[in-house]
Amino acid sequence: KCRTGPLDIVFVIDSSRSVRPFEFEIMRRFMMDIIGSLDVGPNATRVGVIQYSSQVQNIFSLKTFFTREDMEKAINGIIPLAQGTMTGLAIQYAMNVAFSAQEGARPPHKRIPRIAIIVTDGRPQDRVTEVATQARNAGIEIYAVGIQRADMNSLRAMASPPLEEHVFLVESFELIQQFAKQFQDKLCGVDMCMTQEHGCQHNCISTPGSFYCECSPGYRLNMDGKTCSSIDACADGRHGCQHLCVSTRGSYSCHCHRGYYLNQDRRSCSMIDYCSFGNHSCQHECVSIPQGHYCRCRSGFTLQPDARSCRATDLCNGVDHGCEFKCVSTEGSYRCMCPEGQQLQADGKACSKCGSGHVDLVLVIDGSKSVRPQNFELVKQFVNRIVDLLEVSPHGTQVGLVQYSSRVRTEFPLNKYHSADEIKKAVMEVEYMEKGTMTGLALKHMVEHSFSESEGARPLSHNIPRIGLVFTDGRSQDDISEWARRAKESGIVMFAVGVGKAVEEELRAIASEPVDQHFSYSADFTTMTHLVENFKLNICPEEGKGVTEIRSPCECEALVQFQTNTVAILQSLTEKNILWARSLAQMTARLEDLEKQLAHKK
């Protein structure tokens, strides 16, 4: 066997029509004899076979087979193409395809000799000189074997130098088997690693007429071509380790961070479930983390200083409970309460709505640039919470909305919508105006237009209260005093609500008397919900008091009640007079008795 080292050998076999069947069988035998003398294997010599005529056919590539038995079986299965003789095309295919890394050729840095053995019996029908030169320049050593009618000039044009060692001409196909032994010696040659001091640190690999050094697995050859350095298998980043890559000799292993373990794929990591050990002592929930675990309480509970037990939380202070009047914490939960005289609604949060009477309410909201879009959405929510207080109906309370900045716009008049749901939907669809703050102009618009009968305000003769609520977040850019005065003089009850940089002097100028009951202020948009309750107590005063009931003395029920109360009072007085008379008689009898006793003693 040839033991001089690994080779990449590709047989390029002429199967043109000039090669007769029995001659092709001799070529099969020739290839098998050569292969039989080689030490074949994935890390030893690799062999590929292509045949050509007018076209090129790959029989098997360098990566296909690694045993002589598989190679011989494939060679015996070759069916000749029996066409022309396109030798140049075959060399081109060998260079571009057969000796590519995709087809099993080992990379150039491994310095594995690439050998092409071309066997032909005729003159090429295409040019071979140029493509053969390209192949040799690409590192392919070409042996040209001609039989019978082969053209010597073409053989010399294809073969590598020195030509006397790479060009062979055989007189007949019968003699090619005898030539195989001679050719075999050319391939194997002398083991150069045994005949001279090679200087390789690890392994010396003999090649025909030369040798090269190779490193053991886990090492790479240095620039001097002889010494070796260990390979950092983690450095190229292709290790696939999720956490840590640790290099070992010629290989690597994956490791995980503390608190994780390596999965069965030996690359990915999973966090250790410390809670599953069953020794955490958490009253409610155990949560695993890479450093161990911690205890967590269910919603409505707070973790105690021992970091294990839980206690009910005062949810009224810890969540957005939504209670309209008062929130009362219970064990792990909370409930809403209403003031005396009011009932909790079906939602469990709101209290009974304002039922004191019907009003025409116009809300005038600031849409200036200083409000900002996110706060304007909070203003709209504030408006809708006020609407929730009211009994809106065609003949009950009516609501209109005006927005202002540098100009004034009626969003919807008093007679536009007749239910709270319609109004709230329209409010949420209002678009933010931005720009300036012309509060005086807005008040003028409210007086002249919003409370006009053409926009739905009921006549003054109906005695329906007219209420205006002005919402602003800053100083007005025009005078407000005149139209604030006119609004109140026209019978409109004015409320002023200020947020942030609103000016108290202006709010008081807008508000009706008593001023303290008609103006409110909040430092921030997110904390202005309490203003809704203030507004409710002022427009629904009997619900704030909860005890006083004022009734007309002319109503029938009132007269009956008055008569009943009067009779009760008179009866009470009569009973008291009878008792007084009895007491007086007893006292008189007592005095008479005392007088008799005094007279007797005298």
* pLDDT tens digit sequence for 278-336: 888 999 999 999 888 899 998 778 889 999 998 887 777 766 788 877 888 776 678 88
Is the distance from CB of 128 to CB of 151 less than 8 angstroms?
no
Q: Looking at residues 541-559, what average pLDDT do you find?
A: 42
Residue range 11-56, pLDDT digits in tens: 999 999 988 888 888 888 888 888 888 889 998 899 999 999 999 9
Contact 213, 202 (CB under 8 A): yes
Distance CA 223, CA 31 (A): 37
Q: How much is the average pLDDT of 93-108?
A: 95
Is there a contact between 159 and 152 (Cβ–Cβ < 8 Å)? no
pTM given for the model: 0.37
pLDDT digits (tens, 9 = 90+) for 223-268: 999 999 888 878 877 888 999 998 877 678 999 998 899 999 999 9
User: Which pLDDT score is estimated for 332?
Assistant: 66
Q: Which domains does the chain have, with CATH numbers?
A: 7-189 (3.40.50.410), 314-354 (2.10.25.10), 360-539 (3.40.50.410)
Report the candidate in 355, 342, 350 with the shortest Cα–Cα distance to residue 540: 355
User: pLDDT tens-digit profile of 405-455?
Assistant: 999 999 999 999 999 999 999 999 999 998 899 999 999 999 999 999 999
* Mean pLDDT within 539-551: 42
Comparing 111 with 180, the larger pLDDT belongs to: 111
Q: Has residue 591 got a pLDDT over 50?
A: yes
Which residues face 211 on adjacent strands? 206
**Which pLDDT score, from 0 to 100, does residue 554 have?**
44
Separation between Cα atoms, residue 239 and residue 217, nearest integer Å? 17
Least confident of 59-68, 196-205, 325-334: 325-334
* Averaged pLDDT of the chain: 83
Under DSSP, the state recorded for 219 is E
Highest mean pLDDT pick, 2-6, 506-510, 562-566: 506-510
Note the pLDDT of residue 73: 95
Q: Is the peptide bond before 42 cis (omega within 30 degrees of 0)?
A: no
For residue 552, pLDDT beyond 50: no
pLDDT value at residue 468: 93
pLDDT in the model for residue 563: 55
Instruction: Report the alpha-carbon distance of residue 602 to residue 155 in Å, rounded.
Output: 185
- Model confidence band, residue 179 (pLDDT cutoffs 50, 70, 90): low
Identify each DSSP E strand in 272-348 by its residue range. 285-289, 292-296, 301-303, 310-312, 326-330, 333-337
* Amino acid found at 117: I
> Positive or negative, the Cα torsion across 446, 447, 452, 457?
positive
